[in-house]
Structure 1
């Protein structure tokens, strides 16, 4: 029979502890909240009163309900007052010694069946359990901040935690309207273990001046639908907090992906902690403000005044697949004359028919007039001859991701296109410089990585090789803005920005599953609920395609040679078995219909 939790204790009334107290009290539980001093108790009370007042002002709670909620909370400075509680959640600062002393003290006062839980986000729950006489009844119960709002709760079992303790807390968390996920005791648990490797990688990219902070953040917001870019999120979390979490994770994993990039230490030493200090990767109006203000690092216009911009009126697109057709539609809709080249008349016809169907849908939905539809289609010309690109100002190659095929196309375009014409590739993973090397005009070659579907997705990665001329990069950026896109600049290395940040994170999730650390459902739930991502990693892998994902991860590993980038064996086995995701009906999950 499952335990009943009627009275709970919370030790620590900081922002996190007060939020946990509120969660319990909102759900009708009697709460005894302990702090070290009366002053700390008073501060905790202020946190609670401010939060409930905010809820009243927003119409989410009445004055009467707030009064009842606060009436269910008793505060104390003595651990002895927690003697009769059914559960205690410790929420003191992230210090192992401090938390261990709290657990040792609680162990003396509470009943033998009382469960002791830690809200730690990164420390070893096992280390805390062994400081007590009841290691089987010690568990991690990691709420996310702000606790009254965030749904995720990570329940961390140690090797000695009694199974019924975890089961009872899982059922209890669900009654609090939370989403509980059960995991083993490993630094970072699920959300932080996957999130902070990604954040660290983004900080390293910035440190290496591979891309600007604005471009790194814009790439992940517009390319992946993330609610915040990685550097803005680090500022919100606090660079000192991020550094401590990464240090703890690296101490356990010895994975270089978790080794804090040196920039963190430099910024922390300089007092640049993020929003709470008023300056981190960005500069804020004042400490704890979310309003970003210009600083010395703030870029001006995307296109430098010193770099001239070439005139582009007529555009050629090589390819008739989904991506190529989308790019044709984007350019034609923006007023450019477009020549689309396919290998046969039937392929060209099918591409243009697909574009017409897409535009028809926009008309039906009221997003496009019939006149604009007809004008857009009138700007598109089909051909099977590369020679028809002789007078275009820009060619965009959008064929299959096969290097030798792309090099052959670029070699042919080099002979056909007029001097000054820009040659662009939409590759998502191959070196742009390889395409440039197939021509006698490497300065005119640039990467224009559109995201699928091109008419919908805002992001375009503008990839400059070591030989790309400044005016070519400037023209590409200006052109993307004319198309209504969000262009970001980066250098020519595997993964560019988005894939280089996204796929190591997805690979880490597969390794987590492979180690039986958590289920695919719990990992997906943790990342969607705890980090507000649009899709969990396994949902996303099945949509992208496991074969495509494996190819990208192999290219990243080949370039960077870091063990953390090596594709997870489980991913390779699934691809070998033909489980490629939604397109085959089977991937990490089975799909009833394809």
Structure 2
């Protein structure tokens, strides 16, 4: 017979514990909230009151509901008050010995039918369970922060957890309006196992000065639609918590990609823990404040001293595919005369027709006037001859992702284009220097990686090689702002910022699926509802194309020679079988 959870206990009233208290109390369950001392209780009351107060002020809760919620919560410093609870959830700091001690003490207080749950995000639940007299009744119940908002809960079942225990906890999570996923006892479970490898990789990028903290965060927000950049997220989580999670994952799996970047430990030792301490990767107005304030590392903006921008009044684009057409439209919409070159008259006309359709839709939706649409089309000049680009101030190539084909084009542009013209490649994975080296002016060559669809996506990765002139970088950064894009700048390394962070995470998800740890549906649910990502990894892989994903992952592996970047065998097998995602009707899922 299923347990009737009318009263539950929560131990630890920090941000997470107080959030869990609110979740239970919101759903009509009485809560015994336990802290170590009066100061801890007072802090817990403030966190709970602040959260419910905001909900009340925003009209998401009535005064009666607010008062009833608080009436259901009893605060205490005595674990003995948990005696009648059929479920006790510990949410104390992420230290194994502390969690074992707490549940060991609770084990002696509650009845034999009671369930003991740990909210650990990374520690081994089995090891915590064996500190009790009955490990069968211990389960992981990992809420996500902020608990009242986040729908996802990981229910962690150990090898000894009783069937009725995890079934009752899963049913309770559903009663709370959550989306529970049942997983085994592995460090990081689903969400953190995938999330923290990505976060750690981002830290290594900023530690090596490959890109600035602002550019890293902007890249993932504007390039992938993530709600927060990786360094912003680490500051929110807390660098001490992040270090504990990564260290636990590394010790269990020995994957070097989970070995905490040295700077994380250094920052923790220095007390730079993120928002809660007022300083982490960013500096905040005060401890606990979300408001970022300028510090010594804040970019000053503008053109660097001693650098003069090159004039860009006319633009050339080579290519006629989806990306090229989008880039042509972006420049023309911003007022630039654009000369574009395609391989045949039919393709030249196809580009104009596609842009005409796009502008017609914009007029229909009121985003553009008919006069503006006509003016935009009037700025387009199509040609089948590269010679038409002779007077362009900037030429952007957006042709096939084939190095030999691109190098042939750059040799031609070197011959045709006027001295001082900026030559840009939109490559997403090939080395920019390999295009630059076939010209007599490698200092004029830069990466200008737009994201698809270029008309919609705000991000452009500006990629400088070891040869790119500073004024070229500054000119392209300024140009991006003029056409309404967000420019992020990085060095010429495989994957640049976005793909270098995104695809190893996707690859890790494939490995997790292949290991039968969780289903594709559960993994997608975890990352969408637990981490707020716009798409789950398998949804995204099917959209991008498994062949494209595999090619990028291979490039990353060849560049970095990192064993963890080796493409997952399952991904290779699916590509070999012709299961490439949506475009073939079958990938990780079957599509109509």
Same fold (TM over 0.5): yes
Deviations 1:207-259 (A, max 9, x none): 11111111111111111111111111111222222111111111112111111
**How many Å apart are 1:4 and its aligned residue?**
2.8
The equivalences for 1:94-493 within 5 A come to: 94-493=94-493
Partner SS state of residue 468, structure 2: coil
Deviations 1:169-193 (A, max 9, x none): 2121011011111111111112211
Q: Distance in 2 between matches of 1:330 and 1:54?
A: 41
Partner SS state of residue 109, structure 1: coil
Aligned length: 592
Contact 1:302/1:477 (8 A) holds in 2 = no
**How many Å apart are 1:567 and its aligned residue?**
1.0
Partner SS state of residue 108, structure 2: helix
Q: Distance in 1 between matches of 2:469 and 2:46?
A: 59
Deviations 1:140-178 (A, max 9, x none): 001112222221111111122223322222121011011
Contact 2:94/2:244 (8 A) holds in 1 = no
Q: Distance in 2 between matches of 1:40 and 1:479?
A: 53
Q: Distance in 1 between matches of 2:77 and 2:474?
A: 63
**How many Å apart are 1:59 and its aligned residue?**
2.6
Partner SS state of residue 281, structure 1: coil
Contact 2:94/2:241 (8 A) holds in 1 = no
TM-score (norm 1): 0.97
* Change beyond 3 A, Cα 1:216–1:48: closer
TM-score (norm 2): 0.97
**How many Å apart are 1:369 and its aligned residue?**
1.0
Q: Does 1:86 align with 2:68?
A: no
**How many Å apart are 1:39 and its aligned residue?**
4.4
Runs of 4+ in structure 1 deviating by more than 4 angstroms, as ranges, are: none
**How many Å apart are 1:196 and its aligned residue?**
1.2
Partner SS state of residue 440, structure 2: coil
- Structure 1: runs of 5 or more not aligned: none
Contact 1:303/1:477 (8 A) holds in 2 = no
The equivalences for 1:570-585 within 5 A come to: 570-585=570-585
**How many Å apart are 1:42 and its aligned residue?**
4.2
* Change beyond 3 A, Cα 1:294–1:31: closer
Q: Distance in 1 between matches of 2:294 and 2:476?
A: 25
Q: Distance in 1 between matches of 2:317 and 2:43?
A: 64
Contact 1:250/1:256 (8 A) holds in 2 = yes
Aligned position for 1:502: 502
* Change beyond 3 A, Cα 1:542–1:403: same
Q: Does 1:551 align with 2:551?
A: yes
* Change beyond 3 A, Cα 1:64–1:372: closer
Deviations 1:316-346 (A, max 9, x none): 1111000001111111111111111111111
